[in-house]
Structure 1
């Protein structure tokens, strides 16, 4: 396999891992806050928690999902969220 093809595959794997992680975190947040997944995503997106997860994925994905949910809730509160 050539190096460029390897890099493309590696990039795809990392991207898919990030997407899976964000989906898991949104689902857990929705369950904890008794929201639909759609409403949870819209709330988290509007209050910058999705951007936070994407930016800090390297650290956040090493923590428990419960810790990530708490971090997202804190980020939302810092950005005007009220849940």
Structure 2
């Protein structure tokens, strides 16, 4: 299971946070397949919104105590550079 290492007791405990486009394999898994097949809640935003303000992604992760997300390395670098306290 993709979420094997995530400590959740049920699918309603986990929130998937993604800005990845659905044509990207991880965007398709996190944004469409896992929420539908696993019954997970998903908080989605557009790639453009992420690029404009990466703090939205970080905030969504911070506001959901049991959040799971994935992204390419550049996203973490961009978020670290552009996000203020």
Q: Which has the higher strand share?
A: 2
Higher relative contact order by CA 8 Å / sep ≥ 6: 1 or 2?
2
What range describes the TM-score normalised by the shorter chain of this pair?
Answer: under 0.3
User: Could you say which structure has the larger radius of gyration?
Assistant: 1
TM-score by length of 1: 0.27
